[in-house]
Amino acid sequence: MKIATWNINSARARAERILNVLERHDLDVLALQEIKCKPEQFPAAEIEAAGYEIAAHGLNQWNGVAIISRVGLSDVRYEFPGQPGFTKGIPDDGSTFINGPVEARAIGASVGGIDVWSLYVPNGRAVGDPHYFYKLEFLRALRDFAQDQTRQGVDLALVGDWNVIPTDDDVWDPSAMEDDIYMTDAERAAFHAFADAGMREVSRDFATNYTFWDYQKLRFPKNEGLRIDYVWASEALADHAIAGSIDRDERKGKGASDHVPVIVEFA
């Protein structure tokens, strides 16, 4: 089974690219982030005509996640247990952030016997910003959920845009990151904590490249990128990972997303 994750940065703007990636890589499952539309606005017709089912979760023109599958799609969930929400503003009660409405940042479904979650982890914005603490709480709650599922023996895949740079090798120049956002000790610890929850990041076993290049300052031609898109799999599932790649070429051409697909194949 081939599973890919891709921050599409607007599904409606890149509908043709979605279909091309599905066909070019012969994907069984594609998890999308930042679809930036409501489910009824998702460009489904040609994808469904190609033999895929779609589950999408979006509340407005921001965020949004989806799962596309041709190996079945059932038990769709639109948030994981304990998923925090967010309300703009600085707390006046001494807390780190204001828990509010749950955003469209997670969608899970059973596909081909695997519990797949498409995840768009909060950006964090700046170190010390309430959104930064929201990000850490999101990762903590997700880690607790993962640990509960792995203890139950669930074949679990947590895939998506993690907005974390796990090591200095995952950015072209660590000193270029303003305020060290994406790479603070707390963010990195929250990312690596999934290994203690019975998970293993498997894309790195097969592919070494960046997954994101900003549109500004000719970042892509200069290969000044970040690696922030990952595939975490429960240990039993990770043992079946046999191949993987990062489709760097998808960043080329007019109308490309600033992220590229990350693909892992499981036997």
Find the Cα–Cα–Cα–Cα dihedral 123, 96, 126, 4, rounded to 10°.
-10
52 assigned to active site: no
pLDDT of residue 119: 99
Whether 94 shows a pLDDT value over 90: the answer reads: no
120 assigned to active site: yes
pLDDT of residue 127: 95
Quote the CA–CA distance of 247 and 210 in Å, as a whole number. Answer: 10
Beta-carbon count within 10 A of 185 CB: 8
Residue 45 tokens, joined = 């017709």
Interior angle at CA 75, CA 57 and CA 25, nearest 5: 70
pLDDT of residue 6: 99
Cα torsion angle, 106, 258, 68, 60, sign: positive
Whether 213 shows a pLDDT value over 90: the answer reads: yes
pLDDT of residue 200: 98
Residue 172 tokens, joined = 């072209």
Q: Which residues pair with 200 in a beta bridge?
A: 233
Phi, psi for residue 150 in degrees, rounded to 5: -65, -35
Contacts of 169 (CB under 8 A, 6+ apart): none
Rg of the chain taking only CA atoms, in angstroms: 17
Give the model confidence (pLDDT) of 17-33 as tens digits: 999 999 999 999 999 99
pLDDT of residue 190: 98
DSSP 211-239: SB--SGGGTTTTT--B--EEEEEEHHHHT
pLDDT of residue 151: 97
Q: Is residue 57 classed as helix, strand or coil in its secondary structure?
A: strand
Whether 232 shows a pLDDT value over 90: the answer reads: yes
**Active-site position among 120, 132, 134, 230:** 120
Phi, psi for residue 29 in degrees, rounded to 5: -140, 135
Determine what percent of the chain is predicted with pLDDT higher than 70. 100
CATH architecture label of 2-266:
4-Layer Sandwich (3.60)
Determine what percent of the chain is predicted with pLDDT higher than 90. 96
Average pLDDT of span 215-242: 97
Quote the CA–CA distance of 201 and 231 in Å, as a whole number. Answer: 6
Q: Is residue 113 classed as helix, strand or coil in its secondary structure?
A: coil
Give the model confidence (pLDDT) of 151-201 as tens digits: 999 999 999 999 999 999 999 999 998 888 999 999 999 999 999 999 999
Residue 169 among known ligand-binding residues: no
Residue 123 among known ligand-binding residues: no
Whether 147 shows a pLDDT value over 90: the answer reads: yes
Cα torsion angle, 170, 144, 75, 99, sign: negative
- Taking the domains of the chain in order of start, what are their residue ranges? 2-266
Residue 34 among known ligand-binding residues: yes
Phi, psi for residue 69 in degrees, rounded to 5: -145, 145
Quote the CA–CA distance of 157 and 155 in Å, as a whole number. Answer: 7
Q: Is residue 199 classed as helix, strand or coil in its secondary structure?
A: strand
Q: Report yes or no: 195 and 232 within 8 Å, Cβ to Cβ.
A: no
Average pLDDT of span 243-260: 98
Quote the CA–CA distance of 100 and 119 in Å, as a whole number. Answer: 18
Residue 163 among known ligand-binding residues: yes
161 assigned to active site: yes
Average pLDDT of span 119-144: 97
Residue 170 among known ligand-binding residues: no
Average pLDDT of span 48-76: 97
**Active-site position among 161, 170, 229, 247:** 161
Residue 178 among known ligand-binding residues: no
Residue 242 tokens, joined = 């046999």
